[in-house]
Structure 1
Amino acid sequence: MEEVEVVVAHSRRVTLRVGDVFLKVDVDPAHADVEVRAMALAPIPTPAVLWREPPALAIAAVPGKALGVLGAPSTASPAAWAAAGAAIRKLHDAPLPPWPGPVLEDLAAELDRECAWLLANGVLPAEVVRRNREIAEAALRPWEPAFIHGDLQITHVFVDGDEVTGVIDWSEAAPGDALFDLATLTLGHEERLDDLLVGYGDAVDRDVIRGWWSLRGLTASRWLIEHGFDPDAPGCEFDVLRARMGEP
């Protein structure tokens, strides 16, 4: 009998692994709808869908291992990061998925709300919130929509050697800002951005990527805290926000 591994568990979603099968249970069936449709459209390796019986979705594991984890240095080679960049570029150049994506005005309003909450609750020093709010402004500009993954955390990209073998967890996929994906993947691993851009192409605005690092850290913190995660763990969101304090 295979052991059951709890991959993620909170009040909205549970992901279990049994052998080579992942079972995802989500209270919102729209998430699975997007995930299945996005994986069918994405021109890069994705997991196979085994079956779906709402609210459960079963998908096959992908070979290889994650590019890294938040809070620890990535041991993947520069070539593996470049391969990830090339795969993301292929995704971003693909036709847009036929459903709406993030709205700039909504993101700006969310940033204001979350900064106010951080300050009101004394979660971070006011100067850290203020400085990162200032840096985040660079991301709040109109963008040319691309097919984005939408939650491209480092644990969602799998490699075997220097080859991308699969990208998982597509429930946030939508038309959106390509640089948001690049920022999400390199959050807490800023030193690997150059390696990523070898494969992606370096004609990107790094100030916007820095803006997304700050914006994601500010807006994700309350959700993480309320769902039992620790954004103050070494190398995680709070460290990313603090690191911006030493930048011009």
Structure 2
Amino acid sequence: MDEVKVVVAHAERATLRVGDVFLKVDADQARIDAEVEAMSLAPVPTPQVLWRKPPVLAIAALAGTTLGRLGGPSTGSPAAWAAAGAAIRKLHDAPLPPRPGRSTAALTAELDAECELLMANGVLPADLVIRNRQVAEAALRPWTPAFTHGDLQIAHVFVDGDEVTGIIDWSEAGRGDALYDLATFTLGHEEHLADVLTGYGTDADADLDVIHAWWSVRSLLAVRWLTEHGFDPFAPGCEVDVLRSRM
């Protein structure tokens, strides 16, 4: 009998693996619906949906491995990272999905409120928060909407050799800033940003300040949530180290 492995679990959702099947349990049916819709529209490899029975979504495992994880060593050749960049570009060039993204005004308000809480509760030093809020300003500008994954962590992209075999976890997909996806994918692995941009194949390297700004935005918004849900953003190479790197 196949072993049941807990891939990730917190108060909002859980993912289990049984053999070659992943079971995603989510009390928010709208989030599962959004994920299935995004996978059906995305012009890149995605997991096969095997069945749905709320609150569970069953998907098939992907071939290959991820390029690493936040806080851990990165793997894969420069060509593999470039292939990931090319797949991301293909997604961003696709027709826009129906799901709208957050406005710049809403994101700015959320970020300012989070920064206040981080400092008021002593979660992070005030100088660290203030400096990264300054860096973050470069991301809070008008952008041309693209089909974005919305949570394109390095652990969500699978490769086999130098080929992308699939991208998982599409619940945050919608219309957004393409540079946010690039920033999320390279968070904590800045040494591979040039390889990703080589595969992405545009003048995105002219917007490095915006990518750096999105690193600060994502990390500032994540620290308190991660701490409250049993994760450690203070671990080496993770979100707090990303914030420190901007000092």
* TM-score normalised per structure 2: 0.98
* CA shift for structure 1 position 126: 1.1
- For residue 106 of structure 1, give the secondary structure of its aligned residue in structure 2: helix
* CA shift for structure 1 position 115: 0.4
* CA shift for structure 1 position 104: 1.2
Match of 1:132 in 2: 132
- For residue 244 of structure 1, give the secondary structure of its aligned residue in structure 2: coil
The code of the aligned residue for 1:179 comes to L
CA deviations 1:43-69 (Å, max 9, x no partner) are 000000000011110000110001111
Match of 1:198 in 2: 198
Q: Are the counterparts in 1 of residues 97 and 174 from structure 2 also a CA contact under 8 Å? A: yes
The code of the aligned residue for 1:25 comes to V
Match of 2:77 in 1: 77
Instruction: Provide the C-alpha distance between the structure 1 equivalents of 2:123 and 2:99, rounded to a whole number of angstroms.
Output: 35
Number of residue equivalences: 245
Instruction: Provide the C-alpha distance between the structure 2 equivalents of 1:116 and 1:101, rounded to a whole number of angstroms.
Output: 24
Correspondence list, 1:99-248, <5 A: 99-204=99-204, 205-245=207-247
Instruction: Provide the C-alpha distance between the structure 1 equivalents of 2:27 and 2:117, rounded to a whole number of angstroms.
Output: 26
- For residue 158 of structure 1, give the secondary structure of its aligned residue in structure 2: strand
Dislocated runs of 4+, deviation >2 Å = none
* CA shift for structure 1 position 73: 2.3
- For residue 122 of structure 1, give the secondary structure of its aligned residue in structure 2: coil
The code of the aligned residue for 1:67 comes to L
CA deviations 1:12-55 (Å, max 9, x no partner) are 10100011100001110011101101001000000000000111
* CA shift for structure 1 position 202: 4.3
CA deviations 1:100-139 (Å, max 9, x no partner) are 1122111101101110011011111111111000000000
Structure 1: any 5+ residue segments left out of the alignment? none
Q: Are the counterparts in 1 of residues 123 and 224 from structure 2 also a CA contact under 8 Å? A: no
Structure 2: any 5+ residue segments left out of the alignment? none
Instruction: Provide the C-alpha distance between the structure 1 equivalents of 2:35 and 2:177, rounded to a whole number of angstroms.
Output: 18
Instruction: Provide the C-alpha distance between the structure 1 equivalents of 2:41 and 2:67, rounded to a whole number of angstroms.
Output: 23
The code of the aligned residue for 1:161 comes to G
Match of 1:68 in 2: 68
